[in-house]
Structure 1
Amino acid sequence: MASLYSIGLSGLQSSTARITTTGQNTANVDTEGYSRQTTSTVSQSGGGVLIQNTDRIVNQYINQQVWSDTSSYSFYESYHSMMTSFDAVIGEDSVSISTYLDNAFSALQTANADPTDTAARSNAYSNFKQLASQYNDLANYISDQRTLANEELESSVDAINNLTSQIANLNKQIYKLETTTSSSANELRDQQEQLVKELSEYLDIKVNYDDSELMTVNLASGQPLVLQSTNNELRLTSNTNNPDGELGIELDFGKYELNIPTDELGGSIGGLVEFRNEFITTAERMLGQQALVFADVMNQQNQLGLDANGDYGINLFSTAEIEVSANAKNSNEDSGVEVRVTAGASSEITTDTYEIEMMSSTTFKLVTYDLDGNVTSESETIDTATATPTSDGYYEVDGFGVEISFDSLPSYALGDRYQFAPTKNAAESIKMTARSGDYLALSAPIAVSSASTNLSDVAISISSITNTDSSTSAFTTSGGLYSAAPQSLYFTASDAVEIRDGSGTVLATLTGITDYSNLLEQAGLAEDAGYDISLDGTPVAGDSFSITFNSDGESDNYNGLKLANLQTENTVEGSKSFTSAFSSLVTEVGSLTATLSTNMDASETIMNKSIAARDQVSAVSLDEEAVNLLRYQQSYTASAQVLSAAQSTFATLISALG
C-alpha cells in the first residue's frame, strides 16, 4: 500500500508542477523576452515519478542570430535616419547652392549690361553676399548634424554601459541562486537575454557561456564587455586639438584603455559613427572645396579688371586660414607650419587629408590620404635650401595647390608630421570682403583701337588679361602702362608687324604672320606684359593699332563677362563647375540615402525572420499550453484516483483485520 500511495502522491506532485509551469507560460504569453518553460520528469526506482528541473526552451544559436540581425538592422536604421533628415535639407531648392549661384550670376549679367548702373552693381553684390552666407548656413547645418551625432553617441554609450552593468549584475544573481538553491534562474536568464537584445541594437556582439553557465559578452572585434560579474565600460575619444575630427571608441579595463576599431562596432552606434566620421566629413569637405575654389577664381579674375572707380580689382571673398595639426610625436612641439592655397591654383585642391612629412630639417614632401587612410598622391621631395620661396617665405608644392611656410627650419627633424585639410573650414568661413558693388571689376584694364587712317577694316581685340601686378606686369601701381610696355602695332606688310613701346621704340618684329591671334605671345612679350591682343583679319601695310590703359572704360564689361563665365567653367578639381560640384554632393546624399533604405528594409526582413524562428522555438503558444493544461489536469485527476483507490483498499484491509 505504501508503494501505491507513493506512486499516486508523486503523480499528483508531477502534475501540479507541470500545471504550475503551464500556468507560468500562459501568464507570460505577452512578456517580451520570455522563454517558454518545461518541467521534465523521470520514472523512479520502486515506482512513481521524480520531478527534475524546470528549464527554458531556448536555442542559443538562433538567439545569437537574432542579436546579430538586430545589430545589422539597427546600423542601417540609425544611419538612414540621420541621412533622411540630411537629404531633406540638402536637396531642397530653396536652400540649394545652385539656386543662389544662378541668382548671383544672373544679377552679374544684368550689371554687365550696363556697368555704370549703380543699382545693378548693388544687386549683384547683394546676391553674391547671400551666396557666401548660404555656404555658411549649409556648413553650419552640417556642423549641427555632427553635434547631433555626438550627442546621440554619448547617450548611446551611457545606455550601453548601463546595460552591460545590468547583465554583469544578473550573472552575480544567477550564480548565487543556482549554487545556493536547487532552483533554476529561468526568469533571471530571460531578463539577461532581453538586455542582450537591447544591447545588440547598439552594438554587434557575441555571447558565450563559461563553465558556470554565466554569460560572457564580447564585441564583434573580440574585446570583452562582460566577464562574469564585471563589465568594462566604453568611452568616446576625440582629439582635443581638433574636436571636429574623427571620433573614436575605447574600452576601459580599469588599469588601461584599449581603442576599438570603429568600422567593426555595428548596431546603431556603428551607424552613427560612420555617419559622423565619414559622411559628415565628406559633405563638409565637398562643400568647402566648392567655396574655396569659388572664392579663389572669383578673386583672381576680379584682380584682372578695373572697378567702378577705375582702380584695379581687389579680392571679393575670403576664407579662414587653413588649420594645421602637429603630430604629438614631433621632435619639437613648438615648431609649426603655415599653409595657404596657391593663388589661382585652387582647382588642384582635393577633399583629401594632406600631410607634410619632414625628410630632414630642410627637406619635406607632401602626401595626401583619402578618408579610408589610403595614399592618393605624393609630391617630390622639396629642399628648402635650393628651392625658391615666394617673397613672403612660402614654398609652392606644384600640382597640390598649396604653399607652405616654416617657422625655423633647423628646428625640424626627420619624421616630423603636420596634417591639414584645406577644404575643411572653407564653406563655414567664406565671406564677401568687398564693401559694395563698386568693387566688382567689370572693365578691362586696357583699351585697344584701330587707327582712323588704316586702309583695312580689321579690328583689334583683347585676347587675354593675365596679370595686373605692377611688380611683374606692364601695369603701373597708380593706374597706367609702363612706358616700356607694348602699346602699339605697326604693320610694315600684311604679314609683318613692329610691336612698339610707349616711346615708339620697337620691342619686337614679327614676319611671315599667318595667324593674327595672340600676337604678343608670338613675339614673346605677353607674359611680361600681362595682356595680349588679336586681330580679326589680315591688315595691310601701313595699318596701326594702339593699346592704352583703360582710364575711360566705365561702360566696358570685358572682365565682367569673364567673371560671369566662371559659373560654367570646370574649375572644381578641373572637371566640375560650381553647380555640377554641388549637384555631385546632392547626388551622393540621395544615392547613399536610397542605398541605406534598401539595406535597412532587407536587414529588417532578415531580422524578423530570425525573431520568428526564435519565437517558434521559445515563444508561448496558447493552443499548445491549453492542450498541455488539459493533459496535466487529466493526469492530476488520475493520480488522485490512484490515491483514492489506495485509501479504499487500505480501509477494506483494516476492516477485514478487525
Structure 2
Amino acid sequence: MANIYSIGKSALLSANYAISVTGHNIANASTPGYNRQVILQSGKNGQQFGFGFVGSGVQLDDIRRVYDEFLGKQFLDTQSESSRLDTYYNQIAKINNKLADDTAGVSPALQQFFSAVQEIASTPTSAATREAMLSDADILAGRYNNLAKQLTEQRDLANAQIIHSVELINTYGQEIAKLNDQIARAQIAITDPAPNDLLDQRDYLISQLSQEIGVRTVVNGNSLDVYIGNGQPLVINNQAFAMYAEYSAKDPQQVEIGYINNGMKVQIPEKLLTGGNIKGYMDYRNEQIDPVLNQLGLIAINLAADFNKQHKLGMDLNGEMGEDFFSFNTVASVGNQAGTGSVKGTIDLDHVKDLVASNYEIQALAGGKYKITRQSDGTVFQDGSTLPDGTVWNGQMPVPVPIDGIKFEATGLNVGETLVLKPLNEIAASLDVLISDPNKIAAASPVRTGSGPNAISGTDNLGTGKISLGEVKGPGFATSGTLTFDKTAGTFTTDSNVWYYPPDGSAPTLYMAGATNVPYQEGATYNFGDFDFSITGDPETGDTFFIEPNTGGTGDNRNMLALAALQDAKTMLNGTASYQGAYSQLVNRVGAKTRELEVMSTSTGNLLNSIYEEQQSQSGVNGDEEAINLMRYQQNYNAASKVIQTANEMFDAILAIF
C-alpha cells in the first residue's frame, strides 16, 4: 500500500513541476533572450518480488533549457557582421544621396556656373550676365562648403557613436561579469543543476554586446569569458576589463579605442576589430568621409587654381589685369597634444596637378630625421627616398620637403611621435568667391593682334596673309611685337624675341630681336613671351603682323572663352578627366559602394533572420505547443491524484475488514 502512495506522490509532484515549467515558458514567451525549458524525468528503479520487478514511480532528473550552442555562436557572429554592414550602409547612403542630389550636389552647380561663363563670352559687356555669373559662383562655392560641412558633421557623429558604443560595451561587460558570479554561486559544482534563467540573461547580454563589437566567448568552468579584437579580454570570470574611447594623439579628428590593463591604456588597432556598430562607424569614417573630403578638395582646388590662373591672364572692364577669382586654404597644420611640436603642409600652387587625394602620416625618427607616409597607397618617403621632383631626400627637414605638390614642414616632434596631416580635407569647406564687383570679371585678353601697314608701300598689307586672334598662355606675355615678311626668302624679320613652333611638333626655336630668318609656314605657332598666335594665307613682301595692348577692348571675349574651355579640359586625374568627370567618378564610386553595402546588408540580414528562425524553432516558446503540454500535464496531475485516491479507498477497505 505504501508503494502505491509513493508512486502516486511522485507522479503528482512530476506533473506539478511540469505544469510549473510550462507556465514559466508561457509567462516568458515574449521575454527577450528567453529559451524554453523542458523537464527531464525517468522511472525509478523497481523493487524485485518473486514474480518480477514492481515499479516505484517517477523521479525528476533536470529542468533544462533548450539551447543550441552552435546556433548561438553562429547567431552572434552573423549579428556582429550584420550590425557592421547595416551601420556602414545607413551612413554611406546619406552622403550618397547628398553627392548625387540635384539640389545639393556639385555637378549641377558646376554646369550652371560654366553656363554663366559662356553667357559672358557671348555678351562680355552685359552687366546682367556678369551679375549672374557671380551669383552662380557663390552657389557653386556654397555647394562645396555645404557638402564639406555635412561630411564633417557625419565624421563628428561617427566619433560620438563610437564613444557611445564603448560606453554600452563597458556596461554589458560589467553585467556579464556579475552574472558569471551569480551563476558560479548558484552552480557550485559543474554537475549541479544549471540556473537556466541566469544563463539566458547572460547569453542575451552577450547577444546585445555582439551588436556593438565582434566577440568571442570561451567556457571557463561555470563562467563564460568574453574576448574582443585579437584576444583582448573583456570579461574573465567575474572581472570586467574596461574599454576606453578618446581622440587620437596623432589625429585629433579620429576617435580610437582600447582597453585598460592594470591602469594602462592599450590601443586596439582598428584592423583587429571585427563586426558590430563600432566597426561599421570606423569603416565609414575611414573609408568614406576622409577620402570623399579629400577628393572634393582635390576637385575644388584644381577648379579654383585653374580658374584663378586663367582669370589673371585676362583684362577686366576697367582695363586692369584680372585678379584671383576664388580663395581657398593652402595651409594645413596639426599639433601634438603637448603643444611642443607640429607639422604643416603648404600647397604649392605651381604644382596643383601633382596633388593626391590622400592624408599623410609624419613620424619623427632618431637623428632629426622623419618618415612621411602617403596613407592612400602606403608609399613611404624617408632617408634615401627619391622624391617626386627627382631629388633624393636625406630624411631631414631643415627646409620644406616637396612631395605631391605639398611642401611639408615639421618642428618639435619627439622621436617616435606621429601626426596625421590632411592637406586637402578642408579645401572644399574653405572655397569662397573673392570678386564681388562684376566689372572686375576679366573677360578680355590684354593683348590684341593686327596687320599692316605694308612696310614698303605704307598702305594696307598687299597679300592675303591673316594673323589669328591669339591667346595669352602665361603671365610673361609680351605686349608688343612685329613680324615683317620677306616673300623672296620666305621668312619674317622680328623686332622682338619670338619663339617659332613648327607645325610638325618638333622642338621650337628662339629668334632674337632683329632676326631676319624667322620661318613662315602655315600651321606654325609664333610666341611673343607667353602670347601665342599663328599666320595663314599668302603674305607679300613688306606685309607686317603685330601684337599690341588691347586698350579699350571691352567687347573682347577671348579670356572668357579660355575660361569656358576649362569646363571640358581634361585637367584632372592625370589628364584623364574634367572637373565634372572627376566629380562624377566620385559620385559613381560612392554609389557603387552604397549599392554593394545594400546588397551585402540585405543578404546578411536575411541570413541572420534564417538563423534566428531556426534558433527559435528549437529554443523559442510555441504557444500552441505549450498549451498542449499544459493540458497533458494537467491530465497527468488528475491521473496521479486518482492513484492516490484509489490507494485511500483500498486502505479504507482494508481497515473495514478489521
Match of 2:405 in 1: 401
Question: Residues 509 and 169 from structure 1, CA distance in 2 versus in 1: closer, same or farther, beyond 3 angstroms?
Answer: farther
- Identify the match of residue 126 of structure 1 among 132, 135, 149: 135
SS state of the match for residue 508, structure 1? coil
The whole-number CA distance in structure 1 between the counterparts of 2:186 and 2:627 is 31
Displacement of 1:51 = 1.7
Residue 363 of structure 1: how far off its partner (Å): 8.6
Moved more, 87-96 or 335-344: 335-344
Asked if 1:345 is matched to 2:344, the reply is no
- What TM-score, normalized to structure 1? 0.85
Superposed, 1:364-379 pairs within 5 Å as: 367-370=373-376, 373=378, 379=387
Distance, in Å, in 2 between the alignment partners of 1:627 and 1:65 is 31
1:412/1:465 CA distance change after superposition, 3 Å:
farther
Alignment of 1:167-566 (within 5 A): 167-179=176-188, 184-212=194-222, 214-219=223-228, 221-239=230-248, 242-244=251-253, 246-263=254-271, 264-325=273-334, 338-355=344-361, 367-370=373-376, 373=378, 379=387, 382=391, 396-397=402-403, 400-404=404-408, 419-452=420-453, 453-468=460-475, 473=476, 481=479, 487-493=481-487, 495-501=490-496, 506-520=513-527, 529-566=529-566
Structure 2 match to 1:637: 638
Q: Contact 2:163–2:246 at 8 Å: present in 1 too?
A: no
Letter in 1 for 2:494: I
State the distance in 2 between where 1:147 and 1:155 align: 12
Give the Cα separation in 1 of the matches to 2:431 and 2:364. Answer: 31
For these two proteins, the number of residue pairs brought into alignment is 620
Describe the shift of the 1:365–1:198 C-alpha distance in structure 2 as closer, same or farther (beyond 3 A): closer
- For 2:331, what is the secondary structure of its paired residue? coil
For 1:335 and 1:190, how far apart are their aligned partners in 2?
Answer: 53
Q: Within 1, Cα distance between the matches of 2:9 and 2:473?
A: 109
| Distance in 2 between residues matched to 1:283 and 1:160, nearest whole Å | 30
Partner of 1:77: 86
The alpha-carbon deviation at position 516 of structure 1 amounts to 4.7
- Partner residue of 2:579? 578
| Kept after mapping to 1: 8 A contact 2:522/2:536 | no
Deviations for 1:138-192, whole angstroms, at most 9, x for unmatched residues?
A: 1111112222223333332222222222222222222223339976421122122
Deviations 1:175-231 (A, max 9, x none): 22333997642112212222222222222222232112x222222532222222222
Tell me the secondary structure at the aligned position of residue 448 of structure 1: strand
Contact 1:498–1:507 under 8 Å retained in 2 = yes
Give distance in 1, aligned partners of 2:626 and 2:96.
50
Which position in structure 1 is the counterpart of 2:23? 23
Of 202-211 and 511-520, deviating more is: 511-520
The 8 Å contact of residues 330 and 347 in structure 2, kept in 1 or not, is answered as: no
- 1:34 deviates by 1.5
Q: Hey, what's the Cα distance between the residues in 1 that align with 2:34 and 2:344? A: 62
Instruction: Answer whether contact 1:322 1:421 (CA < 8 A) is retained.
Output: no
The letter for the 2-side match of 1:251 is Y
Give the 3-state SS of the residue equivalent to 1:532 in structure 2. strand
Structure 2: distance between partners of 1:518 and 1:641: 118
Distance in 1 between the 2:75 and 2:301 partners?
Answer: 48
Q: Aligned partner of 2:270: which letter?
A: T
Q: Distance in 2 between matches of 1:4 and 1:363?
A: 94
Distance 1:203 1:425, change over 3 A: same
Structure 2 length normalisation: TM-score? 0.85
What residue identity is the alignment partner of 1:187? D
**Alignment partners' CA distance in 1, 2:545 and 2:351:** 34
Query: What amino acid is the match of 1:275?
Result: Y
Distance 1:405 1:500 in 2: 47
Q: Secondary structure at the match of 1:69?
A: helix
Q: From the superposition, tell whether residues 5 and 198 of structure 1 become closer, same or farther in structure 2 (CA, over 3 Å).
A: same
**Partners of 1:460 and 1:360 in 2: how far apart?**
63
CA displacement at 1:110 relative to structure 2: 1.9
The alpha-carbon deviation at position 561 of structure 1 amounts to 0.9
- Tell me, yes or no, if the aligned pair for 1:157 and 1:235 is still in contact at 8 Å: yes
CA-CA distance at 1:630 after TM superposition: 3.6
Q: CA deviation at 1:62?
A: 0.6
Shift of 1:413: 10
**CA–CA distance in structure 2, aligned partners of residues 621 and 558 of structure 1:** 81
Unaligned runs of 5+ in 2: 48-55, 454-459, 498-510
Unaligned runs of 5+ in 1: 476-480, 521-525
Give the Cα–Cα distance (whole angstroms) in 2 for the partners of residues 133 and 404 of structure 1. 29
- 1:587 matched to which residue of 2? 588
Whole-angstrom CA distance in 2 between matches of 1:384 and 1:375: 12
Shift of 1:351: 0.7
In the aligned structure 1, how far is the partner of 2:623 from the partner of 2:576?
67
Q: CA deviation at 1:545?
A: 1.1
- In 2, the alpha carbon distance for the partners of 1:360 and 1:7 equals 86
Tell me by how many angstroms 1:440 deviates: 2.0
Change in Cα spacing, 1:404 to 1:205, as seen in structure 2 (3 Å) is: closer
Which is further off, 586-595 or 351-360? 351-360
Distance 2:351 2:172 in 1: 53
What is the distance in 2 between the residues matched to 1:507 and 1:56? 105
Change (3 A) 1:495 1:247: farther
Distance 1:394 1:222 in 2: 43
1:305 Cα deviation (Å)?
Answer: 1.7
State the match for 1:609 in structure 2.
Answer: 610
- 1:26 is paired with a residue whose SS is helix
Contact 1:300–1:344, Cα closer than 8 Å, also in 2: no
Divergent runs of 4+, >4 A = 180-183, 326-329, 333-338, 355-367, 372-378, 393-397, 404-407, 411-419
Deviation at 1:9, TM superposition (A): 1.6
Q: How far apart are the structure 2 equivalents of 1:531 and 1:505?
A: 16
State which drifts further: 28-37 or 606-615: 28-37
Describe the SS at the equivalent of 1:519. strand
Quote how far apart the aligned CAs of 1:118 are: 3.2
Give the 3-state SS of the residue equivalent to 1:576 in structure 2.
coil
1:19-168 alignment runs, 5 A limit? 19-45=19-45, 46=47, 47-168=56-177
User: Could you say which residue in structure 1 is the equivalent of 2:50?
Assistant: none
Task: Give CA-to-partner distance per residue, 1:581-605, whole Å, 9 cap, x none.
Answer: 2222222232222222211211111
Q: Is the 8 A contact 1:302 1:313 kept in 2?
A: yes
Cα-to-partner distance string for 1:449-474 (whole Å, 9 max, x where unaligned): 11133221222125442332xxxx35
Return the alpha-carbon distance in structure 2 between the equivalents of residues 39 and 149 of structure 1.
48
Deviation of 1:360 after TM superposition, in Å, equals 9.7
User: Separation in 1 of the partners of 2:330 and 2:180?
Assistant: 55
What is the alpha-carbon distance in structure 2 between the residues aligned to residue 37 and residue 211 of structure 1?
22
SS of corresponding position for 1:305: coil
Amino acid of the structure 2 residue aligned with 1:345:
H
| Partner Cα separation in structure 1 for residue 211 and residue 538 of structure 2 | 79
